[in-house]
Structure 1
Amino acid sequence: MRKIWLLMLGAFTLGLDAYVMAGLLPVVAADLGTTVSLAGQMVTVFTLAYAVSAPLVAGLVQGVRPRVLIIASLGVFTLGNGLTALAPSLAVLLLSRAVAGVGAGVYSALSTAAASALAPQERRGRALALVMGGMSTGTVLGVPLGVLLAERAGWRATMWAVTGLGALALAGLAAWLTQVPADPPVPVRARLGALTDRAVVPVVGVSFLAAVASLGLYTYLAPVLADAGGVGEGGVAPYLWAWGIGGILGSVCAGPLVDRTGRVMALVTGLLLSLILAEAALPLLGAAAHPALVLWGAAGWAFQVPQQHRLLALRAERGTVALALNNSALYLGSAVGSGLAGLALSAGLPPERLPWAAAAVAGVGLGVHLVWGRRSETHTQRTDTGDARTRQA
């Protein structure tokens, strides 16, 4: 299990690095002499590089041993964070975040596959939970801790801490990670087929819109709360903790809810409604925004459990590719959301109105889910029935 724990440490560092800068935007902007909206683009370039790197690299390096790619991707990720800590200007900062994002995207895809391949059959679920839990814990708990460190020692100290964690995981994996069995290559036809599959596209599209609304807004949580009168002497950290506590509750409760009720469509509907309600309430609550942040965090982190459940219910040859496509949609949505929010702020939109715009995007996602989601379920059932009849014949 030592290898799995090292993979988990790398995943924890990824989760921390992806969003810790969201709580540091005002400090970073002041240090580099730029605006908060421009500084926020470092989250955009990181998540965009994260989203596109895994599928691109997967198509270019087929045949390369997974162990080599895991170590190399974590090395690129750690190098990018070191460059971020040293960045003297916004241009260098954005470049360094793109480098870190490329490494993070490839490592994220490979680490979960490696955990599954290295664990015995009866412990694969636990191994996957450890790696995925490491990433969510890095975001949910690591981000507030990183903000606290930055408040005491500066934002560059936080980035050096992230770099140190990445280097520690890199050294451990280089020393102890054995060869990892490689999965059979996925045919190009199967990869492209998922992009036009009427059962896959509505689900992935809703995941994209939910990420725009949730993760995109999270990038600018600090200025949003400040504009709404919600940041006091304690700074933004208590609000990040509230969002994180909600995230833990959502992550823990979503799986049992899916297993116990089996009502995946209804659960997705309820979570989207909760996200809309929480974000719409943020500007109205001001300093008392903690309950809305708990609800937002719970809905946002729980949302992908039923979404992944729906994708895994697809035909076997599409399920794995659909999950990879959904993962890319999440980070692409985060990049688009933070990018659009930055443009809106640059155009003069008051930060306290961003949650209402995000809630509107989530509302569009709810509409897509209600209209096309049911159609995709029907299409899948018809296709599965036809496949069964073909096999019987």
Structure 2
Amino acid sequence: MSAVRKVWLLTLGAFTLGLDAYVMAGLLPVLADDMGTRVSLAGQLVTVFTLAYAISAPLVAGLLSGARPRLLILVALAVFTLGNGATALAPSLGALLAARVIAGAGAGVYSAMSTAAAAALVPGERRGRALALVMGGMSAGTVLGVPIGVLLAEHTGWRATMWLLTGLGALALAGLAALLPQVPSQPAVPLRARLGAVADRAVAPVVGVSFLAAVASLGLYTYLAPVLAAAGGVGEVAPYLWAWGAGGVLGSVLAGPLVDRGAAPRVLVGGVLVIIAVAQAALPSLAAAALPGAVVALVAWGAAGWAAQVPQQHRLLEVAGDRGTVALALNNSALYLGSAVGSALGGLALGAGLPADALPWAAAAVAAAGLVLHMAAGRRSRVAAGVSTLGSYEHS
């Protein structure tokens, strides 16, 4: 079995993760009604999943960085699948919260380890494509899986959607257990080195840019329905969610080949941040003037938002050295923390009376801040490289 086909097995698991991470928001009204609780309380299911995901990725991947990646991938996917099964069976909101913590913890570890494994399974010149396949799986879970999951819940109940997730996870687990080869493990990383990755001057700015991009992109996505309703009177938001998700799949797939063909990851990241900011800032006006224009903006925003992470992951693997798995785990945590922070800030802003159609401007400002950080980090890297080169010349 070729290396690329083995990466496709990892992609199936990533698809299930993408579906699980985003479908719960669409299930909240049905789930809250079934559980006899408020949507705001049921929304904490998203919060605990996200936090468990964000915390588990760097913690477990760092602590067990010397362990066999194949075993960690299988165990993490098994925990994720069991968590979804427990969610489907949960009799109360408390049991649901506990089940979502289990699923989120498994998802966080699987995401970090599968990304590192995908990069290790292929030659260096195909690393970008491998990373893009895994990211594409997650974005495909959003664009294809979420509408199907919500439709299934509307007709057969939210538990049926969770059983669908459980079945997909079990299918990916069986395939990986049978066909995934041993993946080269990285050297064990001491505690001081793991903590040092957070403050590493090469790693921290990259992770910071990922965090700000997630705040801007994934945070605003949560409130796309009220934004379009306020800006353009849109009542049926599903086609626009599909447009954003389709852009995400396109961006994820195209970013990998661009990196492999020599496109500088630093330049790609800067470009997609510009596209995110411009598309978000233009969205309210386009939605008010012509809805097809809003679709174009959403496709561009979705493509840029998802494409950013392929060159970001590529950069981290280059600059982190033997702490690559830890750096990727930190980056995945930054994405989910950024999504949670963006959603929370958007909710607070709307609660304080900010018009919904002003949210894209706020998100665009955050994307612009990410661009500033990205450019500043790039300038420091060039200066440091120049000093190093000068020192080498003087001592030669």
User: One fold, TM greater than 0.5?
Assistant: yes
Q: Sort the Cα spacing of 1:316 and 1:62 in 2 relative to 1 into closer, same or farther, 3 A.
A: closer
Q: How big is the shift at 1:104? A: 0.4
2:305 matched residue in structure 1: 300
Of 238-247 and 284-293, deviating more is 284-293
Correspondence 1:186-205 to 2 at 5 A: 186-205=189-208
The answer (yes or no) to whether the contact 1:148–1:237 under 8 Å persists in 2 is: no
For 1:205, what is the secondary structure of its paired residue?
helix
The answer (yes or no) to whether the contact 1:11–1:135 under 8 Å persists in 2 is: yes
1:374 matched residue in structure 2: 378
Structure 2: segments with no counterpart, 5+ residues = none
The answer (yes or no) to whether the contact 1:46–1:101 under 8 Å persists in 2 is: yes
Amino acid paired to 2:153: A
1:56 matched residue in structure 2: 59
CA offsets per residue over residues 182-222 of structure 1, 9 Å max, x none? Answer: 33212334333332233332222121111111112223334
1:148 matched residue in structure 2: 151
The answer (yes or no) to whether the contact 1:23–1:222 under 8 Å persists in 2 is: no
Q: Sort the Cα spacing of 1:317 and 1:387 in 2 relative to 1 into closer, same or farther, 3 A.
A: farther
Distance across 1 between alignment mates of 2:143 and 2:62: 32
Structure 1: segments with no counterpart, 5+ residues = none
Q: Sort the Cα spacing of 1:28 and 1:224 in 2 relative to 1 into closer, same or farther, 3 A.
A: farther
Of 96-105 and 186-195, deviating more is 186-195
1:244 matched residue in structure 2: 245
For 1:185, what is the secondary structure of its paired residue?
coil
Q: Sort the Cα spacing of 1:217 and 1:31 in 2 relative to 1 into closer, same or farther, 3 A.
A: farther
Amino acid paired to 1:109: A
CA offsets per residue over residues 212-235 of structure 1, 9 Å max, x none? Answer: 111122233344444555544xx4
Percent of residue pairs identical: 73
Q: Sort the Cα spacing of 1:366 and 1:167 in 2 relative to 1 into closer, same or farther, 3 A.
A: same
The answer (yes or no) to whether the contact 2:228–2:357 under 8 Å persists in 1 is: yes
The answer (yes or no) to whether the contact 2:58–2:326 under 8 Å persists in 1 is: no
The answer (yes or no) to whether the contact 1:44–1:334 under 8 Å persists in 2 is: no
Q: How big is the shift at 1:101? A: 0.9
Distance across 2 between alignment mates of 1:356 and 1:29: 32
The answer (yes or no) to whether the contact 1:29–1:35 under 8 Å persists in 2 is: yes
Of 30-39 and 322-331, deviating more is 30-39
TM-score, normalised with respect to structure 1:
0.83
- Correspondence 1:13 to 2:16: yes
Q: How big is the shift at 1:25? A: 4.2
The answer (yes or no) to whether the contact 1:50–1:106 under 8 Å persists in 2 is: yes
Q: CA-atom RMSD, angstroms?
A: 3.5
Amino acid paired to 1:278: A
2:176 matched residue in structure 1: 173
2:345 matched residue in structure 1: 340
Distance across 1 between alignment mates of 2:38 and 2:355: 14
Distance across 1 between alignment mates of 2:246 and 2:214: 19
1:274 matched residue in structure 2: 275
The answer (yes or no) to whether the contact 1:143–1:240 under 8 Å persists in 2 is: no
Distance across 2 between alignment mates of 1:190 and 1:383: 25
The answer (yes or no) to whether the contact 1:150–1:158 under 8 Å persists in 2 is: yes
Correspondence 1:180-329 to 2 at 5 A: 180-228=183-231, 231-232=234-235, 235-258=236-259, 262=263, 264-284=265-285, 285=287, 288=291, 289-314=294-319, 316-317=321-322, 321-329=326-334
